[in-house]
Structures are given as structure tokens and as C-alpha cells.
Structure 1
Amino acid sequence: MKVLIVRTRYLGDTILLVPLIREIRQHDREARITVILNEGTTYPLERFPGVEILTLARGSATRRSASSLALLGEVRRFRPDLLLDLTVSDRSRWLTRLSRAGRTGAAGDPADLARGPWEVRVPVDLNRGPASVVAMHGALLSAMGLPISGIMEKAYFPDPLWRERAGGWIRERGLDTTPTLFLHPGGRHWFKRWPPDRFARLASLFIKERSGGVIVAGTGAERTLVESVLSGVRSDRIHPLVGAPVGLLDGLIRRATIFVGNDSGPLHMADAAHIPLVGLFGSTLPVVWGPVCSPKREVVYRQKECSPCHHTGCSLGPDNCLASLSVEEVALRMERLG
């Protein structure tokens, strides 16, 4: 069986595909699986046995168009038996129509599904659930006639080279002999982020009470956010990680004693690595997007009357959901993890 999965979103969305791929593998050990992903989000599947990755380029319209045409050629040559569209966009509709797939299915917003070429359509609400994203993916698989067992495991195969480099990074900063707190203050929208001064206070508390070290991570675009956290901590035991390759980010998360972060890709990386974690949620529902794998996990959910929201902005300003979450409560959740 040849299966094509289209999921051109973010890093965390790629990690959330792992249970779906495991379900397909359990049904057919010899299945050939091809996944279309956005550039920069491929790391979790790069070493997954039997999975081929096709990448959609980002950047200029010309570059994206050229990439789309090249992808179409690859898809038509692959000629999948099943096409699973988990993106439901104009581009994925176009690919589906021209794919020459045996059967096609999609899971997405009912309004988006109304105008598409798919034979099987599974309406899902990625804001309100009530099921998790992984369960919604499974519902599409089931609707297309494949049995599902409810696999939730997101563990993927890290790159040994990046794990080795992460070890060197840790040793160079003297973090190999101390407890390490990994903080990720970023997020796609500002109102999905716990305020940086709270992260700074939490870091200071960890350094004082556990004599540990702290890593604060962010993308290149989040440099100012990371620096804001660092500026609130008077210690040489806190270290920035800005714009690092995904492999190094993954390797350092795996070496952390505990992870604390907002609803974003690194949170799912920590969950997939089964390390102790605290996930911070406000504008999104943890039952839909939250961690499910780590045996030591805590979720703090601050719900306002408008939560979950549609991510078009936040009218609450400094009174937004995550702003009401105290350092003391997050610290208490960390203590529960041991």
C-alpha cells in the first residue's frame, strides 16, 4: 500500500503525525509512506523507517510555485493508493485533484471541506475538539477503512550526530553535572506566550533552590524575547539558545531535567522524548493540543470566556489568559514532577 500524507504546517504538527504513521505501519508493515511537509519542519520524520519526505519550499511566490510544480510531479509518479489531506488548503486541493490517487480523504474545518475534491471528508474542530488532534487524524484513517488502535505515541528517531553535539554544548557550559531547566518562552502568537518576566522569575527560583542551570530557547525571530528572559536573571547559570538547528534543539531538550514552555513545537518535542514537562495553555485547549506521552507531565490551563480562540488576535491585552498565570503555580507543578 502506498500512502501520501499532506501536512504543510509547523514543527509540532509534524510530530503529531507520528502516531498516524505508526497506525498505518501497524496495519501494513510494508506500506510505503510519503509525507509532504513545509521546509524546516522535517526533522522528526527524517529517520523514520519507510517514510519518504517531500518538502514544500517557503519564501517568494516564485519559489513556492516552482516547488509546488515539482511536488506535483513527484506525487503523480508515486501514485498513492490513499491520499490523506490534513492541511486542507488551496494548494492541497490542487495536489489532490491532480494526484492520480486511488482514494482521497481530508480532515478539517467543515467550511473548508465543503469545497474540495476528496471522496472522504471528516469534519474536525481544531479549536474546540473535543478530541485530540491525534484522535482526529485517526478518525480520517478509520473513515477510509483502515483499523485504528488508538496509538498516541509520538516518539521519533533523533539524529545521533546532533545528540553528540548537544552533549558537547552542555559540557562546554558546565551543565552536565547539574539539574537543567529548559525554557521555551516563544509561540506563534504573542497571546500564546507566558510573559517573559515570569519565565525569568521561574529561572531564578530554579537556580536558587536546585542549584541548577537554565537554557532559554527561541528562534532567530524570538531573540528579543529570549534576551528579555535573560535580562531578568542575575546569574551566570542561564544560557541562551537562539536560532539553533532543530537537531540541536532536540538534543538539548532530551538532556534537560525538566521542560517548561508554551503550546508550541518544542513542547511536543519534550513530550515525544518523554522528559518531565509543564505545558502552559490559554488560547488553545490542552485536550486538543496538549502533551500525551511523557509519564511525568503537568498542564496548566488558564481559560477565559473567549478561550479557545481562533488566533485572529486578542482584545484582552495585558489581561489575556496566560498573563493571569502565576510563577508560584508553575513552580508548584514543577515540584509535583519531582
Structure 2
Amino acid sequence: MPSEPQAPRILVIRRRYLGDLVLLGSVFRNLRLNEPAAHITLLSERAFAPIGKLHLDVDQVKVIPKSIGEWLKFWSWMRKVGFTQVLDFDNTDKTAIITRLTGAAVRVTYDRETNPFRHRWIYTGSAKVSNDFYTSQHITETYLKLLESVGVPVTSREIRLVPREQDLQVVKKYTRGMGPKILLHPGSRSHFRIWPIERFAAVCDYLQDELNAQVFIVAGPGELSIAKEIQQKAEGHVVLIIEHFPIAQFAALISKFDLFLCHDSGPMHIAAGVGVPVVALFGSQNAEIWKPVGEGHTILQTELPCTCLPDMPIPCVKSDSYRNYCVRKLTVEEVSAALHRKLSA
């Protein structure tokens, strides 16, 4: 009697960042729909690995090793698992080596027009991505293109993060109260992309005075001083949540709010992933690629290309979205009006 075929064992490699790992959700969903019995493992850097545990279609999350001892254990573990497929979303020197060491029969990555294809010989297949395609589509479409190279049909574009019950219990004490609740995250990976503090404070006052909303501020590592300044400049009562939450609890916290105000950031994608409407302030970055996924979100962005602002402490670099001040072209009135529309819908 022939033996039952083994379920696929799939390794998905994506090292970083928060938003990127959130947006892999539609990849996991389609892998699961195509092979319900598959065992799906996400491999990422330690700082971002907790996001993987909020994707219900991911069975296991592993961390990229650092020390020699960790590498030896990791290699032994990979060989025992016996991966059948590897989807390498990074194609770096390190991820190419990991891909080869798995011994998987199917090993795929990208062949992007503007990026060098590293270690082509390691891979059994690739997804060609032109620059026109990459810059005109949401990043999730580029992610899903890699599925074509392993014959997985794309039947869903759903991205859903599911906070764990224990994390929801931890954060519920921070969100008590009546009326609509808005969570403000004023941070960004680039200080060029941060909207002025006094404008955030003015919007907080508008939300409370005109819309009877409760405003809470949350800050990530290194962002607490910004949050404190906003609280101090606001005339109304703004709740500053000073606790530093692990990623899973942070996602749970966001899920308890009616609206999330932020910059283009990883937390923006987490909010969209847990189903909370977003009002996001964009600078010059390509919003078509990086906008939050799903319905009910609002993107505010000045007309591009924008002109550099004079008299800034560090001159802007017009061609670099991480080093220009385009987000400062947005006015308090524009942001307040967008929030009003969302809360009145």
C-alpha cells in the first residue's frame, strides 16, 4: 500500500521590519489555502519575530542565529525538519546561505531589475520583478509574485493579525473610558518624517474639544520625549501611556482603539492588521507601495514632488524619503478634517 505523501514543510525568510512582516500575511494565507496541511515556518531577526506569532497561518517562528553555537544548533534543527520549500524574500548573502543549508528541493527568491541577484546558483527558481511593477503596485503584490515561482495560486489578499487573549487582558486597563478613543503614535524611524509636535498637540485639542474624543499617546523606544512634549503642549487632558510593550501586547493595545493616528510606519501596518482604521501622515515616500492594507484607512500626503523647506537644522535631500521634510507640508486643518470624517462616518 503506498504511503501517504508528506505535507510540505515551508520556510519563509524575511529578516525585518515590523511593517514588512505584517504585510507577509497574504503570503501565509495563500500558502495555507493551497496546502492546508503544510507546516509553515517564518525566519526573521529577533526584534521582529513576535509579529509572526500573530499570523494564524504560521506554525512556527524561528530567529536568525548570531553566535557560532546558535548557528550549529540552527543548522542541526534545519536538517531535522527537512524543509521541502524555501521562499527567501531578502536574497542577501546570509539568507542565501541559509537557503542552501536547508537542503530543500525548491528554493526561490527574487530577480529584481534594480537589485543584484546574489548567488543565483543556490536557487532553483526566481520571480522576475521589473522596476515599473515594483514602483506601481502595493508591496504585497511584489510579495505575492514570489508565490508564482512555486506554483501557488493567489486567491486571497487578506492580512489579519490576531492578538492573543493573554495580551488583550494585559492592555485592557489602559483603554477604559467612554466616547471614541484615538491612539496617537507620533514616532518614525526617521526624524525627518516626524510631523511638528505643536501640530500634534493642536490636533489632540481639536479631537477633545470638537469631537469629544479621548486621546491616548503611545511611544516606542527612543520616542518618549516626543510623546511627553505633545502632552505638555496640548491644552486638554491627553493620556500618555509610558509603558514599553512587547510587540504582541502593542498589537493588542492598538486593537482596543477606534482610530489610530500615525506616520507611515510599522505600527501603521500593525493597526491595519488588527482591523483598526488608520489616519496616516506620509512624506515623500511612495504611498502606492506602502499604504495600509484594507478598507477604511486615510492617507494624507502633500502634493509631490514637494519643495525643500528652508532654514531646517539639517538640509533635506529631495530624492531620499528618509531625509526630507515633506510631511511638514500637511496642516493642522487637513489632519483635523480627516479625523473628523473618520469619526463621523
The TM-score, its normalising length taken from structure 2, stands at 0.85
Q: Distance in 2 between matches of 1:269 and 1:259?
A: 10
Deviation of 1:80 after TM superposition, in Å, equals 1.6
**In structure 2, do the counterparts of structure 1 residues 123 and 69 end up closer, same or farther at CA, with 3 Å as the change threshold?**
farther
Q: Distance in 2 between matches of 1:323 and 1:235?
A: 23
1:12 partnered with 2:15: no
Which residue number in structure 1 is paired with residue 290 of structure 2? 289
1:52 partnered with 2:60: yes
1:321 partnered with 2:323: no
**In structure 2, do the counterparts of structure 1 residues 64 and 25 end up closer, same or farther at CA, with 3 Å as the change threshold?**
same
Which residue number in structure 2 is paired with residue 106 of structure 1? 109
Return the letter of the residue paired with 1:300.
Answer: L
Q: Distance in 2 between matches of 1:29 and 1:86?
A: 22
Q: Distance in 1 between matches of 2:253 and 2:168?
A: 8
Which residue number in structure 2 is paired with residue 215 of structure 1? 216
Q: Distance in 2 between matches of 1:319 and 1:13?
A: 22
Q: Distance in 2 between matches of 1:65 and 1:123?
A: 34
How do residues 1-338 of structure 1 correspond to structure 2 at under 5 angstroms? 1-46=8-53, 48-49=56-57, 51-56=59-64, 63=66, 66-107=69-110, 109-110=112-113, 111-116=115-120, 117-124=122-129, 125=131, 129-149=135-155, 151-171=156-176, 176-293=177-294, 295-305=295-305, 314-315=316-317, 320-337=325-342, 338=344
**Gap runs ≥5 in structure 2:** 1-7, 308-314
- SS of 1:186 mapped into structure 2: coil
1:177-224 per-residue CA deviation (whole Å, 9 max, x = no partner) reads 132111111121222332332222211211111222212122122122
**In structure 2, do the counterparts of structure 1 residues 128 and 279 end up closer, same or farther at CA, with 3 Å as the change threshold?**
farther
- SS of 1:113 mapped into structure 2: coil
Question: Mean Cα displacement is larger for which, 260-269 or 218-227?
Answer: 218-227
- SS of 1:221 mapped into structure 2: coil
Deviation of 1:66 after TM superposition, in Å, equals 4.5
Structure exhibiting the larger radius of gyration computed from Cα positions: 2
Aligned 8 A contact 1:267 1:291 in 2: yes
- SS of 1:167 mapped into structure 2: helix
Which residue number in structure 2 is paired with residue 60 of structure 1? none
Aligned 8 A contact 2:28 2:58 in 1: no
Deviation of 1:44 after TM superposition, in Å, equals 3.3
1:151-190 per-residue CA deviation (whole Å, 9 max, x = no partner) reads 222112211111122212223xxxx213211111112122
Aligned 8 A contact 1:31 1:50 in 2: no
Q: Distance in 1 between matches of 2:132 and 2:266?
A: 16
Q: Distance in 2 between matches of 1:191 and 1:33?
A: 38
**In structure 2, do the counterparts of structure 1 residues 262 and 242 end up closer, same or farther at CA, with 3 Å as the change threshold?**
farther
**In structure 2, do the counterparts of structure 1 residues 118 and 229 end up closer, same or farther at CA, with 3 Å as the change threshold?**
farther
Deviation of 1:280 after TM superposition, in Å, equals 1.7
**In structure 2, do the counterparts of structure 1 residues 165 and 33 end up closer, same or farther at CA, with 3 Å as the change threshold?**
same
Deviation of 1:300 after TM superposition, in Å, equals 1.3
Aligned 8 A contact 1:153 1:272 in 2: no
**Gap runs ≥5 in structure 1:** 58-62, 308-312
Aligned 8 A contact 2:264 2:281 in 1: yes
Aligned 8 A contact 1:127 1:284 in 2: no
Deviation of 1:318 after TM superposition, in Å, equals 9.7
Deviation of 1:30 after TM superposition, in Å, equals 0.4
Q: Distance in 1 between matches of 2:12 and 2:24?
A: 9
Return the letter of the residue paired with 1:284.
Answer: Q
Question: Mean Cα displacement is larger for which, 97-106 or 242-251?
Answer: 242-251
- SS of 2:240 mapped into structure 1: strand
Question: Mean Cα displacement is larger for which, 251-260 or 239-248?
Answer: 239-248
Q: Distance in 1 between matches of 2:147 and 2:77?
A: 23
Aligned 8 A contact 1:226 1:240 in 2: no
